[in-house]
Chain A
Amino acid sequence: MLVFIFRRLLVAISVAITVSIISFMLLHLSGDLATAIAGPESTADQVEEIRVAFGLDKPIIQQYFSWLSSAVQLDFGRSYYFQDTVMDLISERLPITLTLGALALGIATFVAIPLGVLAAIKQDTWIDRLALMIAVVGQAMPSFWFALTLIVVFAVNLHWLPAGGNSTWMHFILPAIALGYYAMPAMMRLTRTGMLEVLGSDYIRTARSKGLSETSVVFKHALRNAVIPVVALAAVELGFMLGGSIVIESVFSLKGLGQLAWDAISRNDYPVVQAVVLIIAVFYIALTFVADVINAMLDPRLRVR
């Protein structure tokens, strides 16, 4: 098991480095950064000045290594647009996105697991079909549109919750629902198939034949085993949600990492864009690593590979 963890850790770290190279190269090769920063009305001299000032005249490999060596010390340079260091901006915004992600995951889990269990116990009844329908519709709904609809219904018409901002915990409810809905279908389906599999297994038949109550069989014996892969999936979904929060944050004007990325992208503030892409990727890599370890603890066959 330790060997497995160690090997996976090595892969995770090298993937993180590759991602940093790719995100760096993508941004540097897809256009002339100096021209983009200087803006359309600048003269050739000004562009040259900016190129030298930001070190963009040096060879790209050299630029990458100087960026990476400070990045591993959590120094991502200064923002071109905001009068602040990139790290200060990120440490100010990251807690908001993490709160949003954790809440969204909480809501998704809170709905997905009971619904999945219910769908499995009542297999092929209307409850099962309803759960499937919620999942199928959830996968088809555009997130920005769902978020806007939540605002129109719950903020504008019902006045239950605020439409945007992040001053109180109430401001996080609608965004968390909007974001969490996308993690829900996959988790629900996995809970359902896991429960169906476990409920058909020998040890559940034994538990039943011992005369244990159905509640005890379902919740104490079956769910405990069916839920572990769902926990692993939840970790991966959290990683996806951090990347997808850019849409939700822009709709609800939550000042999180996604909004920061959005501001930076629309203002050609590349040090910020690079840092955010890398941080979100690192979070995702770390969370998938956790998921891999959970799954390997569960299924020893996975450790061999």
Chain B
Amino acid sequence: MSQTLSNSTSSSPVSALSGPEASGLPVVPEWRRALNKFLGHRGLFIGSVILGVIVLAAIFAPWLAPHDPYVQNISQRMIPPIWHEKGTWEHILGTDKLGRDYLSRLLYGARISLTIGLTAALISGVIGTTLGVLAGYFGGRTDAVISYIITTRLALPVLLVALAMAALVGGSLEMVIILLGLLLWDRFAVVARSTTQQLRDAEFIASAKVLGASTSYILIRELLPNILSALIVVITLEMAHAILLEATLSFLGLGVQPPLPSWGLMVSEGKAYMFFQPWVIAIPGITLMILVLAINLVGDGLRDMNAPEGRN
């Protein structure tokens, strides 16, 4: 029983006939078509390359970093980056107010951003998907209650609530992950609910029911794989959202605490020097922007690949 409704398989005969890459060749392997589609989408391609580079930089930070990101050296404070006339190759991106190597801190900072983005998105993904699938599948009163929960969550000002809670519990990397995971599930729930509603009455669900499958089997083994492609898009969006929020919390002093090299914290620490050494805030800020931009490009690209007709 092959019952996958995912776009990559169900729409393949059409795209094989109409796609330009298939004009001369009668048989194009599935993976080749996916690859061509991937390479053909400029945003998705560029976004994945940038994201890949940042992920590799984060993983190999201990080997790539020229210095220890935590070692202070007062005699080497505020050295400008290499493109500045006073820059040195010793510290390619310069040093901060405590003489710590900026490039090394940036590389280790990528670990913090990516960890928080991924784990927060996964926690909120589990919460939101569970709520959304239950609401979409059962409908009726369940749907009414869950929709009400979603509406209430949307009315809570995320940043304010996160700040207030972080002030009470104390900011730390783990706290930020838990807080964001508990706050950012709304979009998962909305998307899971509407995609489940569309599939609820599909034939493959009905036939699973007829065959006597349990509800949990239907939801987890039949339904979930088919809404996964829509959820992956939401994961990327929420990852970007969580990374920006972590940076904001850390910037305001209630997120990741010093001496950890969170990019938001680096901007906050550089704030006092930004008038005469603007690069201290420019470097972490631009890096943060590039990471979020790359994740958003991947998300937008995946959405386009899922629904080519909805490209506008």
Those of B260-294 within 8 Å (CB) of chain A = 264, 267, 271, 274-275, 278, 281-282, 285, 288-290, 292-293
CB distance from A125 to the nearest CB of B (A): 14
Contact with A along B139-181 (1 / 0, CB 8 A): 0000000001001101111111101110111000000000000
B152 to A243, Cβ gap below 8 A?
Answer: no
A156 to B289, Cβ gap below 8 A?
Answer: no
A265 to B312, Cβ gap below 8 A?
Answer: no
The interface residues of chain A lying within 8 Å CB-to-CB of B231 are none
A145 to B157, Cβ gap below 8 A?
Answer: no
A144 to B160, Cβ gap below 8 A?
Answer: no
The interface residues of chain A lying within 8 Å CB-to-CB of B160 are 243, 246, 261, 273, 276-277, 280
A23 to B161, Cβ gap below 8 A?
Answer: yes
**A158 interfacial contact with B, CB 8 Å:** no
CB distance from A52 to the nearest CB of B (A): 21
Whether A243 contacts B157 in the complex (CB less than 8 A), given A19-B152, A142-B248, comes out as: yes
A19 to B156, Cβ gap below 8 A?
Answer: yes
The interface residues of chain A lying within 8 Å CB-to-CB of B285 are 142, 145, 148-149
Contact with A along B117-152 (1 / 0, CB 8 A): 000000000000000000000000000000010011
Q: Of B156, B169, B278, B300, which contacts A30 at CB under 8 A? A: B169
Q: Of A15, A152, A277, A280, which contacts B152 at CB under 8 A? A: A15
Give Cα distance in the complex from A141 to B281, angstroms: 13
The interface residues of chain A lying within 8 Å CB-to-CB of B281 are 145, 148-149, 152
The interface residues of chain B lying within 8 Å CB-to-CB of A142 are 244, 247-248, 251, 264, 267, 285, 288-289, 292
CB distance from A132 to the nearest CB of B (A): 9
Q: Of B158, B164, B282, which contacts A243 at CB under 8 A? A: B158
Q: Supply 14 further A-B pairs (C-beta < 8 A) apart from A145-B288, A244-B159.
A: A30-B168, A31-B169, A36-B168, A137-B293, A139-B292, A143-B248, A144-B264, A148-B267, A148-B271, A149-B282, A246-B159, A261-B160, A273-B160, A288-B155
A interface with B by C-beta (< 8 Å): 11, 14-16, 18-19, 22-23, 26-27, 30-31, 36, 136-137, 139-145, 148-149, 151-152, 156, 192-193, 196, 242-244, 246-247, 250, 261-262, 265-266, 268, 273, 276-277, 280-281, 284-285, 288
24 residue pairs from A and B, CB less than 8 Å apart = A27-B165, A31-B168, A31-B169, A36-B168, A136-B300, A137-B289, A139-B292, A140-B290, A142-B264, A144-B247, A144-B264, A152-B278, A242-B157, A244-B159, A247-B159, A247-B252, A262-B252, A277-B156, A277-B160, A277-B161, A281-B157, A284-B154, A284-B157, A285-B155
